Structure 1
Amino acid sequence: MLRSRAARLTLLSVAIVLVVALVATVVAAFVVVRRPLPQVEGTLRVPGLQAPVTVTRDARGIPTITADSAADLFRAQGYVAAQDRFFEMDYRRHVVAGRLSELVGENEDALDADKVIRTFGWHRIAQQELEILEPATREALEAYAAGVNAYLDGKAPSQIAVEYTVLGLQVQIEAPEPWDAVDSLAWLKAMAWDLRGNYDDELGRARAFASVRDVAKVDQLFPPYPQALNAPILAEQDLTTATPAIATQPAPDLDDSALQAAVARAQEALEAVPHLMGDGEGVGSNSWVIGGDLTESGKPLLANDPHLGISAPGIWTQVGLRCATVSDACPYDVSGFSFAGFPGVVIGHNADLAWGLTNLGADVTDFFLERVDSTGEATMRGTETAPITTRTEVIKVNGGDDVHLDVRETVHGPIVSDVLDVDAVGDAPVEDGAFGRDYVVALAWTALAPGRTADAVLAMDTARDADDIARVGRLFDVPSQNIVFATTDGHIGYQAPGRVPLRNRVSGDVPSDGTWPRPGWDPAYDWQGYVDPEEMPRVQDPAEGFLVAANQAVTPAGVGPFLTKDWDYGYRAQRIRDVIEAQVVAGEKVTAADVSALQGDERSPYADVLVPALLRLDIDDTFDDDGQELLRTWDHVASEDSAAAAYFAAVWSTLLELAFADDLPDGDSPNGGSRWLEVVRSLLDDPDSPWWDDRSTPGVVEGRDEVLTRAMVTARRELTQQLGRDAEDWRWGRLHVAAPEHPVLGGSSVPGLVRRLVNPEPIEVGGGSSIVDATAWDASAGYGVTAGPSMRMVVDLGDLDSSTWVTFTGSSGHPGSAHYTDQFGPWAAGETFPWPFSPAATAADAVDRLTLEP
């Protein structure tokens, strides 16, 4: 009895010790997580300020900053951004400078990214860019950097962000280095990279050609924009542009294994770059603006929701920037969405004008296939050669040895096929003995020259009318964006900005318009300058009374300057147009609530195209046809609770695999985006097209109906395993989940406790690719959300205080903050929050007040 009691006491003592240790661990973890949270009330001293600055925050932690001077305003913005999101800023600057290994240590993916970005030289270009900006822009960048550094001064890494504490368990973490104006500018290069246009399609054509060996057949996978179905942004524009000279040199021969190997290496290298804003299918945007003649208030309404990759925290920060007295010396009174690490507001409104941005998608990159001579130090240029320049980059690795990288560059740009495997350049046959054995691939990209986009951002913040927006368009070099705008005095308009290359037309089977890689040895393929900014498409107050810019073609075919052939195919844009037009025809005035509801529209154009063809087919088995029965009563709305939407998604992904996987290279499976919708739409009228045939079944030639039937049967069986036997119980949201991850600590290699801290709880959502509620998914990789509306805003130009907004996760970058994810649930539900603007409204909405003093 005594021994038993003693044993129990011993076990109890052990349990108490364990509980105490656990409590101590929990308390310590709580302290570590909460320690970096910012002070949002009272008074703080910020050296360098000329006068006190007020920072109020609303219930979601969104700051409104009020200062007496522009210098104080941007210094305070830098300070507040560092309070809320410095680790995100630090991570980004390491990425865009090719120094990620310096932050995270020995990691193959990080090192590959550093190599490619050092080859691009983003940070070097940003340094050159700083010198050509307006003095006021440089002053804003420097004031912002000073504010960031005032926040960092004297703080240990653990006081700044919990991420440093976690990383410090594996690598040496020093105090962050001071922020610099160039760090802000370099971020613009990352933005331009993720929104660069058609480079994926350009390489995709070359890779597809390696399999099908037929340019015409490749063209079937990249069909022209369907202008008869989906309207461009500007229906009627009288535009003129210079016509480039027509050269007669033959197009390059792409039927060469060494050349194809070089293209493949270039693709591999470029895929190593982290996509800070997202990449691939689903990266686009919706925006539209409706004139006052069509609205209930009699004043314009403007909507914007950029579609970018999902991450934690989300890409945008919300902020209000206000000069206490607006004047020429301090002209800012603006509110909207910015990037942590960059001064000003990127999308939003001021007291006179609202604007939205969507990706124009102009073709601003070209891959040049270069022939290297026998010395390895020059490339062929006509009958001459041009030198290859070389520089050495030193990549520091936290806890490891430095890596030395030799970067080679041709007259067209950096050699990207060198980056990951310099020694693997393939041999190419030599016909005349004049050249060596190497093909390499160089990248020409407009963002690899200094530009003035930073000037454009701050000019946008103070724009008042169409003339101001036109000036912004002349400054906004990269990335090329559609700008829609509206003014409080009743005007609406559109402006296409951007530095867009002019290209010669060269005869041959392969187009010379930038849709295919170009032969660098033939000067006829060189860029011939850039489109004159005055010739870029624009309009004010169109007769139709509204404008929709959602990544579709800008102008009717053949009108205006050549921008690209690789547009989004316009199904999403056309749905927005159709809804607005239906309301106008019905004589109903449009309200801000109508616009918000349209942002959440989930009708699927895929279903509109494909379901009629699926329902014409017979499925004999009563079990296999359960999914097809769902389609018979489906309203084609991909809502989160729709069984039919889940089934249709499975049919779509299976159909793409059955029809195309056997013809395309490994890793090039269709992602299911709008291009593939247009491909399949065209093939539905050609039941015996060779694309329907599965080449992996020798002796059997499949046609359209057989492939569609097999897709339906396969999808039914797949979902039976995933979601259960009863088709009526299926739900699209169970497959289609938004699960943002932290860029450094969110992966599976990180302990579960940390992942749960930094990764928001996944949420089931509706919507999908090419749907207005554009929660994109990759049909070759599952149903999870890969990109989506990174924010939503609706601006009411009749009453700015009645505007609404929401961002993807929250205003804070600290996982321990209540504002890290407090907008994620409302975002998923299609809800938005009031967006007060006037001094009285923002004061009434404030829950915290902080004074920054000199």
Structure 2
Amino acid sequence: MSVARRIALAVAVFLVVVLVAGVITTVIFVRRPLPSHSGTQQVDGLSAEVEIIRDRLGIPQIYADDAEDLFMAQGYVHAQDRFFEMDYRRHVTAGRLSELVGPVDAALAADTVTRTLGWRQVAEQEFDLLDPASRSYLTAYADGVNAYLESRQPSQLGLEYTVLGMSVDVGTIEPWDPVDSLAWLKAMSWDLLSNYGDELGRAAVFGQVGDLDMVDALYPAYDSSRNLPILPTAAEVTAQEEAAAAEETQAQGMDLTGGDSDRAEAGSGVASDPYPTALAADAGEAVRTALDAIPALLGTGEGLGSNSWVVSGEHTVSGRPLLANDPHLGLGAPGIWYQVGLHCRTVSEQCPFDVAGFSFSGLPGVVIGQNADLAWGLTNLTSDASDFFLERVYSDGTYLRAGDRLPLTERTEVIEVNGGDDVTITVQSTPHGPIISDAILGSRAAGDAPLPDGAPPTGLSGYAIALSWTALTPGRTADALFAMNRAVDADDVAAAAALFDSPSQSFVFATADGQIGYQAAGAMPIRADVPGAVVPSDGRWPRLGWDPAYDWQGLVAPEQMPSVVDPAEGFIVTANQAVTSPGNTPDLATDVDRGYRAQRIRDLITEQIAAGEPFTAADMTRIQLDEVNPYAQMLVPVLQRIRVPNDFVAEAVDLFDDWDRVNDADSPAAAYFAAVWTNLLRLTFWDQVPEAQRPSGGSVSLDVIRNLLEDEASPWWDDRATLTVVEQRDEILGLALVDARAQLTVSQGKDPADWRWGRSHQIAPTHALLGGDGVPGVVSNYFNPDPFAIGGGSSSVNATSWDASAWAGGYPDLSVTSGPSMRMVVDLADRDASTWQNFLGSSGHPTSGNYDDQFDRWASGEPYPWAFTRAAVEESEDRTLTLAPPG
């Protein structure tokens, strides 16, 4: 039984109880968890009074005389507003979700994988590595959480506990531990680990088509001549400008006559020495499915990423920098971020914090924001921080290593199941990491996998898959977060980044005295070039565990990570694209975003600079909301030249004639193009790739299709289901136009002028446990805000992504899967002129007025003023809570 179905049954019981109890009891049930945000509360452990000033959005600004008091108060307010979210997260990260929700298959699968990876054990080791001050802050935060939990029943902490209590024994809530906060960093790292799906995908597709050339076509190299990296050279900037001018006419000159070029010979790229993966025997697909069982706490899919850029004072109205950031993450309920201010009344060595911004419930400090001296934003570095290793294993508990048989390391994990029997698993490891195929598949993973010449014989047991991942080595990311909260200049940012192990991130920053800069951060493995390897040994493919030549050769030194301060251009743009052009040292990643968002931001900035118009905060917000569709810019000129079978289809294609290529929510052409795009990917790839590798339609797909358009006879165009016909490019493009017309006719009406992109493209925030199918509407309405029709799309700057591989009932599902989880613009000349907005709201309680009160303005893109100084905070005050020591 799924989590959603089990909860749905619990909700049904809950409704019966509520209906019988009557309206008054109902109000008590649903409003009981709401905290008090005013008055005075006595809290053991404080050394002095702490003020918590909230505005009408419920955003707390905390003022204290002591750093430990400050973080204790942050723990208290996080617990007030978001404790169930915190508790759910710690159960997931510790592999204890079954303890919370009961005997649910999905929960047990998640626990099995998380225990196998050992997140909690790594977090426990990290605590001892941290600076003493960081340990004291984490401990104070935990004390604050526990001060709020003290003497409160589960039903007073979250309505979710009342619902869960109808199907399982909720019991008492265990105290918060500092390690609970550190384990959350593992979940962050996992959700932002961008490469492992591509690594499995290459091997799985090769197992299906047996052609390395065809695999390479699905994973093209980053093209810095089209979209510049984060740190471009002057020569690259010039070359890109020339390439952009040339590309303007490329589509117009494309041959769409359905010419007579010979079809490329299928299999021409088959390796003479087949690549050694157990994935051809479906083991890799099973591993992928199992790893995906871990609940995505930040979101999942290619749409995860961020925009962040900074413009120097040379180009602003104020003469001081402007910095923007909008992380693209999952958009569930409650929203991921929690806005907060942490202010020492007197900043000193003993109390060094005066910072505000966006935090994660369960983690002390501010993750993204500004302090009195500096502002910073984060984007995912999309680095390759993990590898799968194929291990030769034997039934006697040994594995092969450099010709020797060595014993596997083993440990036993007991998973407690609320209302069910305990489940015991055995986790085995090699020096490369935990063997994920054992616990996940229940058997060895080799089967009839193709292997290279000289590979060890299968014998008994066969092969298994181990995972090497930098986040499984204890690190000091928590130290880095506190260091960033105190940072003053570029040297401080570099020092903090040197401690930032995982997830790997791109820091963009600006200082109050006018500096701007970029710093790459994260533990990055060094891979040796293996002579004679069948496929590249650079981390794009699974590696051979029995050959030490494939082992990591250490980590990139922090001082070698790319960085820049005050570049000549006067601005820096990061949007998950390559940091430097491919082939540069250090080579951080191959599977990066292809840079269309980043290039669009660059183009808007350079156009405004060329026009001599200085930037304001409003200009930064305008760029964040840009909805130009790069897919349409590439493909529409081609589609307009395709011959269609009748006037019925031509009527839809005519929408493209005067379309500005902007994905406005009210655009009929945007709706039609999205349907055409999803059908084009379906018709081109679904017949030849495993289901899990169907393209999601992100920026990689854009480059793939762009390249395939130049090869009308590529084997990818052929539909393998039509055995006597060899389809080519123009036929597939025409079929996509026809199918999209038919689908939108059914879903939105016969007249194309009546179609609307926002009718297909909606954001519907759902609760992790109470957002599934089958939850009765009266309860679902509490936890899940009403959907919004919005614009934007994948690879637009306003990146409201959708999954082109998701179909239901024969129709593409174009609903939003991820997007800007928050937006902020910091004005370094006037901190109170900065703006911010959260996806939903500050509270995690669905009956709170602050649960989703920012949703409307998030959807419309209208930010809120950000009160940073004490004077501005007092002016925006709506209610104040004082925490005081007893007596």
User: Deviation of residue 265 (structure 1)?
Assistant: 2.6
Structure 1 residues 251 and 232, CA gap change in structure 2 (3 angstroms) = farther
Aligned 1:159-308 pairs, distance under 5 A: 159-236=156-233, 253-254=274-275, 260-308=281-329
- 2:861 partner amino acid: G
Cα deviation digits, residues 703-730 of structure 1 (max 9, x gap) = 1111111111110110000001111010
Aligned counterpart, 1:42: 39
Aligned to 2:483: 459
Q: What is the 5 A alignment of 1:315-464?
A: 315-375=336-396, 377-423=397-443, 425-427=445-447, 435-464=459-488
- Equivalent-residue separation in structure 2 for 1:30 and 1:671 (angstroms): 44
Cα distance in 2, alignment partners of residues 45 and 726 from structure 1: 65
Q: Deviations for 1:575-605, whole angstroms, at most 9, x for unmatched residues?
A: 0000001001111111110100110100000
Number of residue pairs matched by the alignment = 825
**Mapping for residues 508-657 of structure 1, pairs under 5 Å:** 508-657=533-682
| TM, length-normalised to structure 1 | 0.95
1:686 to 711, 733, 742: 711
Counterpart amino acid of 2:655?
L
3-state SS in 2 of match to 1:662: coil
Contact 1:203 1:517 in 2 (8 A): yes
Q: Is the 8 A contact 1:251 1:512 kept in 2?
A: no
Give a deviation string over 1:80-126, Cα, whole Å, max 9, x none: 10000000000000000000000000100000000000001111110
Amino acid at match of 2:183: A
Select between 744-753 and 409-418 the one with higher mean Cα deviation. 744-753
* Residue deviations 1:264-315 (CA, integer Å, cap 9, x gap): 2321221111110011121000000000001111110000000001110011
Counterpart residue number, 2:246: none
Question: Partners of 2:34 and 2:457 in 1: how far apart?
Answer: 67
Equivalent residue in structure 1 for 2:117, among 120, 131, 134: 120
Verify the 8 A CA contact 1:282 1:787 in the aligned structure 2: yes
Q: How does 1:98-137 map to 2 (within 5 A)?
A: 98-137=95-134
What residue in structure 2 maps to residue 63 of structure 1?
A: 60
Cα offset, 1:236, TM superposition: 2.9
Counterparts in 2 of 1:824 and 1:20: CA distance versus 1, 3 Å: closer
Shift of the alpha carbon at 1:696? Answer: 1.0
Contact 2:278 2:445 (C-alpha < 8 Å) held by counterparts: no
Can you list the C-alpha shifts for 1:416-467, whole angstroms capped at 9, x where unaligned? 1122321364435898768533111000000001000000000000000000
Q: Distance in 2 between matches of 1:691 and 1:89?
A: 46
Equivalent AA in structure 1 for residue 728 of structure 2: G
Quick one: which of 723, 741, 753 aligns to 1:698?
723
Q: Whole-Å Cα distance in 1 between the matches of residues 858 and 866 of structure 2? A: 15
Q: Secondary structure at the match of 1:785?
A: coil
Q: Match of 1:47, SS?
A: coil
CA distance in 2, matches of 1:19, 1:175: 24
Q: Which residue is 2:799 aligned to? A: 774
Question: How far apart are 1:337 and its partner, in Å?
Answer: 0.2
Does residue 825 of structure 2 align to residue 805 of structure 1? no
Alignment partners' CA distance in 2, 1:92 and 1:632: 49
Is 1:269–1:417's contact at 8 Å kept on the other side of the alignment? no
* 1:623 to partner: Cα distance: 1.2
Letter in 1 for 2:394: D
Q: What SS does structure 1 have at the residue aligned with 2:644?
A: coil
Q: Give unpaired runs (5+ residues) of structure 1.
A: 1-17, 239-249
Structure 2 distance, partners of 1:253, 1:315, is: 44
Which residue does the alignment assign to 1:815? 846
The farther-off stretch of 620-629 and 88-97 is: 620-629
SS of 2:440 mapped into structure 1 = coil
Amino acid of the structure 2 residue aligned with 1:420:
I
Q: Is the 8 A contact 1:576 1:772 kept in 2?
A: yes
- 1:252/1:744 Cα in 2 relative to 1: closer, same or farther (>3 Å)? farther
Change in 2 beyond 3 A, CA 1:258/1:737: closer
For residue 521 of structure 2, what is the amino acid of its counterpart?
A: P
Shift of 1:667: 3.1
Write the letter of the residue equivalent to 2:417.
V
Please, which moves more after superposition, 763-772 or 431-440?
A: 431-440
The letter for the 1-side match of 2:442 is V
Distance 1:542 1:256 in 2: 44
Q: For residue 9 of structure 1, what is the aligned residue in structure 2?
A: none
Q: In 2, distance between residues paired with 1:585 and 1:323?
A: 43
2:557, 2:445 → 1: CA distance? 38
Shift of 1:217: 1.4
Q: Which moved more, 1:602-611 or 1:691-700?
A: 691-700
One-letter amino acid of the structure 1 residue matched with residue 696 of structure 2: N
Tell me how far apart the structure 1 counterparts of residues 584 and 829 of structure 2 sit (CA, whole Å): 34
* CA separation of 1:258 and 1:707: change in aligned 2, threshold 3 A: closer
Name the amino acid aligned to 1:804: T
Contact 1:125 1:449 in 2 (8 A): yes
Letter in 2 for 1:160: L
8 A contact 1:386–1:411 mirrored in 2: no
Give the SS at the match of 1:263: helix
| 1:432–1:172 distance in 2 versus 1, CA, 3 Å | closer
Once the two structures are superposed, what CA deviation does each residue of 1:755-790 show, in whole Å capped at 9, x if it has no partner? 111111111111010110000000111101000000
Q: SS where residue 693 of structure 2 aligns?
A: coil
* AA aligned opposite 1:58: D
CA offsets 1:238-262 (integer angstroms, 9 cap, x no match): 9xxxxxxxxxxx9984366676433
The 3 A distance-change label for structure 1 pair 713 and 469 is same
> How far apart, in 2, do the equivalents of 1:410 and 1:226 lie?
37
Residues 584/265 of structure 1: CA separation in 2 closer, same or farther (3 Å cut): same
Q: Supply the distance in 2 between the matched residues of 1:199 and 1:22 (Cα, whole angstroms).
A: 48
Picking from 483, 508, 519, the partner of 2:507 is 483
Native 8 Å contact 2:392 2:456 kept in 1: no
For the structure 1 residues 288 and 226, does the alpha-carbon distance in structure 2 shift closer, same or farther, using more than 3 Å as the test?
same
Q: Is the 8 A contact 2:310 2:572 kept in 1?
A: yes
Output the CA distance in 1 between the equivalents of 2:534 and 2:19. 71
Preserved CA contact (<8 Å) 2:307 2:327: yes
TM-score by length of 2: 0.91
In the alignment, is the contact (CA less than 8 A) between 2:274 and 2:534 conserved in 1? no
Contact 1:413 1:444 in 2 (8 A): yes
Matched, 1:764 2:804: no
Query: Structure 2 residue aligned with 1:494, among 518, 541, 550?
Result: 518
Shift of 1:42: 0.8
> How far does residue 560 in structure 1 lie from its aligned partner after superposition?
2.6
Per-residue Cα deviation, 1:22-51 (whole angstroms, up to 9, x for no partner): 595333222211111111111111110000
CA contact (8 A) 2:208 2:280 kept: no
